[in-house]
């Protein structure tokens, strides 16, 4: 069906209002179907150059009314199907369902012009028009619409506070006598749990899925057919005990009394509120006091102080002073012993005030490593004097804190190992630094060509001379591979949400600004991952800072500093929400106005092949590397979306398996139970998948195979108080609604773990000690308020850390409101997303493609994480869950045009 013609070609078309088409035709051309911010689809419309004549006017694809081709062919009628994914879409739908039949206003006029006064009220009638098909439908009383499944509102009440209905004529005695033995819906749930064992695995809200409430007998009976959803009656947070009861009813199962609801881990608490605290459903600073107290049974004083600094750094405590006052004696553990040992005075005594001061000094030292101090936290006391070496600029001090002699020896060793290609890159960058001529470079090379090797050589060369090199990366994992590396967002204070006019939060003549001024070289690894707006924000900031040195620097890229970006455009490009191919390419760094100043330096030789004579082994490496490059470069024929179908070599596939996921697990994690506490074992392997949903499925499946006792941690979720609509949202969003929210970057409401399983950090909690977003850990202890784990990746492998719950706010702009989740910042990582794996190098990789890759470079990133062909195994499933041998590869070839 074609709309129109309308517009200037037919201004009298019924769709025309105020000179424009009310249906917004003609539509824009679209390279792919997307969903706009309002939840409505913008359909793919190709500019094919084809058109047809309708009423003598040429119409092209922009005038095609959306349709479903399968339904159109089946019913020989114009039919389109859309699903509701936004609240306003649902309201739009039910407006039509509930507004009744179509109506029309008809004007009845005699069109006479004899000057007679017209009675307009009589001449206008509201008429109801029913088309034949609708008239028949209503005559036979067919359903106009359906709602499924049924929803049951579940009532509940405090003990002996159930509602009783009675006539005003009844006496109190008769009312009591009549209702004393009657059960309410809620009390009937207690009785049903006593009678039916199958109901004891369900919460009150889940009970209607398997049981039916019989109103006449006021009992629950097992469901024989159908399905239903239970909804607990809403209670505002200020509702007192009944609010805490409601929270518990979303968690507790199989309760037969009010005491059962208040029982947590075998302890029956006095109040519902206390039970909520025990389950972690409420937020309070006492939780952190309990966490430090609990950790003190296992941790040294230094580890406890690190734990307190993490809590400060993550802004989890409402009032840090209260926690400090309650735990300072524990935080001081070991200080007196160290002082006695240092002064060789076993009888040394220190007053409480002096001990507090020394502890505050130690906390300040730890904060100093993360670029903060106790002065950053207003309620915390500061040490009255410090035995630390004081520096005018702590950032400069940190970047100059290297052993020059050791670095000089390292530089000589690294320099001698450079290939001719790498030496050429090294010489060009060093020449720009030594001549202070500035320069913007991009080091382009695939995995194995030695980008990290060059970063190490450049850093050693300049730091051995007392110069400052800023090593930053787009991700926490990539930053761990750099000497003294930090994430770009933390080092340069890049805003989380960037626009065309954004700048970094670094002001002129501050400590960070002086660090930038004194830096000889800035290295930015994995730069193609971030949106070009981040680089442009850094450029504006650098120009603003460097103009204080020389006004001419305002007109130089990055203020005249030598900046070297590195990365591989074959890998994943910036994430653009709801973006199409054009949007993603346009957001890449090589689409920026800065790119015209950039000189691209290329590495093309695989370092694994340079040190050995050609043989069967090196030939296999070369063939595998060439195969990966062909995939990364998009050598296969592709459609307009950059998609191509590639056949996977048989030796890389899992075939002929009744349980493909189990087979992939056994190939990736052989002899897991024998190696469950082996750090090296977990460091070298992982299963990768394109989406978070698939990753969760894999992690839950593997966790179920481990015969250890499972512990479940439940989050406390609430709307953010600083949000402008928090008062309204507190009423709109019930706790269970927030509990069901799943999004990237924060753990789920229910976090299930076992001792000996690998987990991944989801936040940068201590970059100075290698605890970044993406750092993998091994679980040692699962306590009530603290989790003890050992680092298995990065520069501090073997370190034992103590992790508390933290307040985590998702940064996803898709949410129309802000909420925070207090939970341990961890997720299982037997499997991880392909995006998360970028920057890591593994010996064993299992690739689980329950769904195909969906964006540029995902498949290339997945297969290039592995060090050898023998370490890669792939499971590919079709829509029916059957094994297949080909998959989709997405490459936007235009990204390579200006390299």
pLDDT in tens, 199-210: 999 999 899 999
* For residues 689-709, average pLDDT: 93
pLDDT beyond 90 at 780: yes
CA-based nearest residue to 314, from 813, 806, 869: 806
Is there a contact between 1 and 78 (Cβ–Cβ < 8 Å)?
Answer: yes
Amino acid 794: pLDDT: 78
pLDDT beyond 80 at 95: no
Q: Give the count of beta carbons closer than 10 Å to the beta carbon of residue 273.
A: 19
Is there a contact between 847 and 863 (Cβ–Cβ < 8 Å)?
Answer: yes
Burial (Cβ within 10 Å: 0-12, 13-18, ≥19) of residue 487 = buried
Q: Are residues 297 and 270 in the same domain?
A: no
- Residue 756 Cα distances to 156, 715, 751, 772, angstroms: 41, 22, 15, 21
pLDDT-derived band at 391 (thresholds 50, 70, 90) equals very low
Angle between helix 511-518 and helix 532-546 axes, rounded to 10 deg = 90
Is there a contact between 817 and 719 (Cβ–Cβ < 8 Å)?
Answer: yes
Amino acid 409: pLDDT: 94
Q: What is the 3-state secondary structure (H, E, C) of 257-298?
A: CHHHHCEECCEECCCHHHHHHHHCCCCCCHHHHHHHHHHCCC
Q: Are residues 472 and 592 in the same domain?
A: yes
The reply to whether 780 falls in a domain is yes
* For residues 184-191, average pLDDT: 93
Pairing verdict, β 562-567 and 439-444: parallel
Rounded to the nearest 10°, the torsion over CA 371, 373, 376, 380 is 150
Instruction: Report residue 103 as tokens.
Output: 């109506």
Is there a contact between 30 and 44 (Cβ–Cβ < 8 Å)?
Answer: yes
* For residues 680-685, average pLDDT: 90
CA-based nearest residue to 19, from 10, 27, 28: 10
List of residues 6+ apart from 316 with CB closer than 8 A: 288, 804, 805, 806, 807, 822
Q: Are residues 209 and 329 in the same domain?
A: no
Angle between helix 320-331 and helix 352-369 axes, rounded to 10 deg = 110
pLDDT-derived band at 710 (thresholds 50, 70, 90) equals very high
Q: What pTM was estimated for this model as a whole?
A: 0.78
Q: Are residues 474 and 547 in the same domain?
A: yes
Q: Are residues 546 and 659 in the same domain?
A: no
Instruction: Report residue 702 as tokens.
Output: 């593997």
DSSP 156-175: ---TT-------TTS-HHHH
Q: Are residues 643 and 792 in the same domain?
A: yes
Higher pLDDT, 879 or 578: 879
Q: Are residues 159 and 133 in the same domain?
A: no
Strongest mean pLDDT among 378-382, 477-481, 783-787? 783-787
Instruction: Report residue 246 as tokens.
Output: 């409601």
The reply to whether 36 falls in a domain is yes
Residue where a domain terminates, one of 573, 608, 643: 608
Q: Which helix (H) or strand (E) holds 239?
A: none
Q: Give the count of beta carbons closer than 10 Å to the beta carbon of residue 723.
A: 16
Distance (Å, whole) CA 37 – CA 25: 19
* For residues 48-56, average pLDDT: 88
Q: Give the count of beta carbons closer than 10 Å to the beta carbon of residue 103.
A: 10
Residue 325: helix, strand or coil by DSSP? helix
Determine the straight-line distance between the first and last CA of the chain, rounded to whole angstroms: 45
pLDDT tens digit sequence for 733-754: 778 888 888 888 899 999 999 9
Residue where a domain terminates, one of 279, 300, 330: 279
pLDDT-derived band at 8 (thresholds 50, 70, 90) equals confident
Instruction: Report residue 734 as tokens.
Output: 């019930």
CA-based nearest residue to 302, from 349, 335, 328: 335
Is there a contact between 771 and 279 (Cβ–Cβ < 8 Å)?
Answer: no
Distance (Å, whole) CA 292 – CA 281: 19
Q: Are residues 304 and 343 in the same domain?
A: yes
Amino acid 728: pLDDT: 46
Q: Are residues 262 and 290 in the same domain?
A: no
Burial (Cβ within 10 Å: 0-12, 13-18, ≥19) of residue 735 = buried
Mean per-residue pLDDT of the chain: 86
Amino acid 99: pLDDT: 56
Angle between helix 320-331 and helix 301-313 axes, rounded to 10 deg = 170
Lowest mean pLDDT among 48-57, 613-622, 863-872: 613-622
Tell me how many domains the chain contains.
Answer: 5
Is there a contact between 848 and 664 (Cβ–Cβ < 8 Å)?
Answer: yes
* H helices present in 25-123, as ranges: 69-75, 87-98, 120-123
pLDDT-derived band at 723 (thresholds 50, 70, 90) equals very low
Amino acid 434: pLDDT: 94
The reply to whether 387 falls in a domain is no
Peptide bond into 756 cis (omega under 30): no
Amino acid 727: pLDDT: 46
Higher pLDDT, 720 or 71: 71
Amino acid 838: pLDDT: 84
* For residues 839-856, average pLDDT: 87
* H helices present in 508-558, as ranges: 511-518, 532-546
Residue 888: helix, strand or coil by DSSP? strand
* For residues 258-270, average pLDDT: 93
pLDDT beyond 50 at 726: no
Q: Are residues 453 and 521 in the same domain?
A: yes
Residue 79: helix, strand or coil by DSSP? coil
Give the residue carrying structure tokens 């092209």.
Answer: 60
Angle between helix 335-343 and helix 352-369 axes, rounded to 10 deg = 100
Residue where a domain terminates, one of 279, 309, 324: 279
* For residues 215-230, average pLDDT: 89
CA-based nearest residue to 568, from 450, 675, 712: 450
Q: What is the 3-state secondary structure (H, E, C) of 667-715?
A: HHCCCCHHHCCCHHHHHCEEEEECCHHHHHHHHHHHHHCCCCCEEEEEC
The reply to whether 393 falls in a domain is no
Exposure letters 593-629 (e unless 16+ CB within 10 A, then b): ebbebbeebebeebebeeeeeeeeebeebeebbebbb
The reply to whether 885 falls in a domain is yes
List of residues 6+ apart from 616 with CB closer than 8 A: none
Amino acid 847: pLDDT: 95
pLDDT beyond 70 at 882: yes
The reply to whether 145 falls in a domain is no
Strongest mean pLDDT among 371-375, 393-397, 537-541? 537-541
The reply to whether 693 falls in a domain is yes
Amino acid 652: pLDDT: 93
* Cα atoms found within 13 Å of the Cα of residue 434, Cβ hemisphere only: 10
CA of residue 288 relative to chain centroid, distance: 25
Instruction: Report residue 96 as tokens.
Output: 């039509």
* H helices present in 778-882, as ranges: 834-837, 858-863
Distance (Å, whole) CA 126 – CA 134: 19
* Cα atoms found within 13 Å of the Cα of residue 264, Cβ hemisphere only: 21
Amino acid 102: pLDDT: 56
Containing domain of residue 729, as a range? 632-896
Amino acid 125: pLDDT: 52
Distance (Å, whole) CA 608 – CA 617: 11
Higher pLDDT, 690 or 40: 690
Q: Are residues 231 and 292 in the same domain?
A: no
Is there a contact between 520 and 462 (Cβ–Cβ < 8 Å)?
Answer: yes
* For residues 523-552, average pLDDT: 95
Distance (Å, whole) CA 293 – CA 331: 10
Distance (Å, whole) CA 301 – CA 730: 40
CA-based nearest residue to 374, from 365, 366, 384, 364: 364
List of residues 6+ apart from 617 with CB closer than 8 A: none
Give the residue carrying structure tokens 């009976």.
Answer: 221
- Residue 746 Cα distances to 338, 526, 719, 770, 797, angstroms: 39, 23, 15, 19, 24
What percent of the chain stands above pLDDT 90? 48
Amino acid 98: pLDDT: 54
Name beta bridge partners: 833.
689
CA triple 117-122-123, angle to 5 deg = 80
- Residue 278 Cα distances to 316, 408, 714, 785, 841, angstroms: 18, 56, 10, 9, 41
Distance (Å, whole) CA 381 – CA 175: 62
The reply to whether 621 falls in a domain is no
pLDDT tens digit sequence for 280-317: 888 889 999 999 999 999 999 999 999 999 999 888 88
Give the residue carrying structure tokens 């998609």.
Answer: 643
pLDDT-derived band at 545 (thresholds 50, 70, 90) equals very high
CA of residue 509 relative to chain centroid, distance: 35
pLDDT beyond 90 at 259: yes
Q: Are residues 745 and 867 in the same domain?
A: yes
């Amino acid at each position: 069906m074609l709309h129109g013609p309308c517009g200037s070609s037919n201004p009298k078309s019924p769709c025309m209002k105020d000179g424009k088409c009310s249906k917004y035709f003609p539509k824009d051309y679209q390279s792919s179907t997307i969903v706009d911010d309002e939840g409505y689809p913008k359909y793919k419309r190709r500019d094919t150059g084809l058109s047809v004549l309708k009423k003598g006017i040429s119409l092209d694809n922009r005038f095609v009314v959306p349709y479903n081709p399968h339904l159109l062919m089946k019913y020989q009628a114009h039919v389109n199907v859309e699903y509701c994914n936004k609240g306003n879409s649902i309201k739009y739908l039910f407006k039509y369902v509930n507004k009744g039949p179509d109506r029309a206003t008809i004007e009845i006029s005699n069109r006479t012009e004899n000057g007679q006064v017209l009675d307009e009220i009589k001449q206008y009638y509201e008429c109801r028009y029913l088309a034949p098909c609708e008239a028949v439908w209503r005559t036979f009383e067919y359903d106009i619409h359906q709602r499924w499944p049924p929803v049951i509102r579940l009532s509940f009440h405090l003990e002996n506070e159930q509602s009783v209905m009675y006539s005003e004529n009844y006496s109190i005695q008769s009312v009591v006598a009549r209702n004393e033995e009657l059960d309410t819906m809620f009390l009937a749930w207690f009785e049903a749990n006593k009678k039916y064992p199958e109901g004891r695995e369900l919460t009150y809200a889940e009970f209607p899925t398997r049981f039916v409430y019989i109103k006449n007998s006021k009992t629950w009976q097992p469901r024989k057919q159908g399905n239903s959803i239970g909804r607990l009656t809403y209670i505002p947070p200020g509702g007192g005990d009944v609010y805490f009861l409601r929270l518990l009813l979303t968690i507790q199962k199989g309760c037969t009394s009010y005491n059962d609801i208040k029982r947590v881990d075998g302890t029956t608490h006095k109040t519902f509120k206390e039970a909520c605290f025990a389950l972690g459903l409420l937020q309070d600073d006492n939780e952190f006091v309990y966490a430090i107290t609990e950790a003190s049974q296992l941790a040294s004083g230094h580890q406890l102080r690190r734990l307190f600094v993490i809590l400060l750094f993550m802004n989890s405590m409402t009032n840090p002073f209260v926690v400090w006052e309650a735990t300072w004696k524990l935080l001081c553990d070991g200080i007196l012993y160290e002082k006695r040992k240092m002064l060789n005075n076993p009888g040394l005594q220190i007053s409480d005030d002096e001990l507090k001061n020394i502890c505050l000094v130690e906390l300040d030292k730890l904060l100093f490593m993360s670029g903060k101090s106790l002065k950053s936290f207003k309620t915390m006391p500061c040490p009255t004097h410090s035995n630390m070496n004081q520096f005018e600029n702590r950032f400069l001090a940190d970047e100059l804190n290297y052993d020059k002699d050791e670095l000089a020896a390292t530089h000589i060793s690294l320099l001698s190992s450079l290939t001719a290609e790498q030496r050429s890159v090294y010489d060009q960058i060093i020449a720009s630094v030594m001549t202070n001529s500035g320069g913007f470079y991009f080091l382009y090379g695939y995995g194995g060509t030695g980008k990290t090797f060059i970063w190490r050589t450049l850093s050693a060369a300049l730091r051995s001379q007392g110069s400052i090199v800023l090593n930053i990366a787009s991700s926490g994992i990539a930053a761990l591979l750099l000497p003294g590396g930090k994430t770009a967002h933390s080092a340069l204070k890049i805003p989380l949400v960037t626009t065309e006019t954004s700048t970094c939060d670094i002001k002129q003549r501050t400590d960070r600004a002086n660090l930038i001024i004194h830096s000889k070289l800035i290295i930015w690894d994995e730069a193609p991952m971030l949106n070009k707006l981040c680089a442009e924000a850094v450029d504006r900031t650098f120009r603003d800072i460097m103009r204080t040195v020389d006004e001419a620097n305002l007109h130089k890229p990055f203020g005249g500093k030598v900046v070297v970006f590195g990365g591989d455009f074959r890998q994943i490009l910036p994430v653009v929400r709801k973006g199409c191919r054009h949007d993603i390419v346009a957001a890449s760094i090589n689409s920026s106005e800065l790119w015209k100043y950039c000189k691209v330096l290329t590495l093309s030789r695989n370092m694994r092949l340079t040190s050995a004579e050609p043989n069967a082994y090196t030939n296999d490496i070369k063939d595998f590397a060439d195969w990966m490059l062909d995939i990364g470069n998009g050598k296969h024929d592709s459609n307009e979306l950059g998609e191509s179908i590639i056949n996977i070599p048989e030796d890389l596939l899992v075939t002929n398996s009744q349980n493909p996921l189990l087979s992939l697990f056994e190939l990736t994690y052989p002899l897991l139970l024998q190696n469950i506490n082996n750090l090296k074992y977990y460091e070298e392997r992982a299963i990768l998948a394109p989406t978070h949903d698939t990753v969760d499925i894999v992690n839950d499946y593997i966790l179920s195979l481990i015969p250890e006792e499972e512990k479940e941690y439940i989050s406390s979720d609430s709307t953010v108080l600083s949000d402008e609509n928090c008062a309204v949202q507190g009423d709109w969003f019930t706790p269970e609604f927030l509990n069901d929210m799943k999004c990237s970057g924060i753990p789920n409401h229910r976090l299930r773990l076992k001792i000996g399983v690998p987990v991944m950090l989801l936040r940068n909690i201590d970059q100075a000690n290698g605890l970044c977003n993406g750092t993998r850990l091994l679980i040692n202890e699962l306590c009530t308020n603290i989790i003890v784990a050992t680092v298995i990746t990065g520069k501090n492998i073997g370190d034992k850390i103590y992790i508390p719950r933290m307040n985590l706010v998702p940064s996803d702009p898709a949410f129309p409101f802000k909420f925070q989740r207090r939970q341990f910042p961890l997720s299982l990582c037997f499997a991880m997303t392909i995006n998360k794996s970028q920057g890591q190098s593994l010996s064993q990789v299992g690739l689980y493609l329950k769904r195909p890759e969906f964006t540029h470079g995902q498949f290339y990133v997945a297969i290039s994480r592995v060090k050898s062909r023998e370490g890669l195994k792939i499971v590919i499933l079709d829509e029916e869950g059957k094994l297949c041998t080909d998959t989709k590869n997405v490459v936007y070839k235009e990204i390579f045009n200006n390299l």
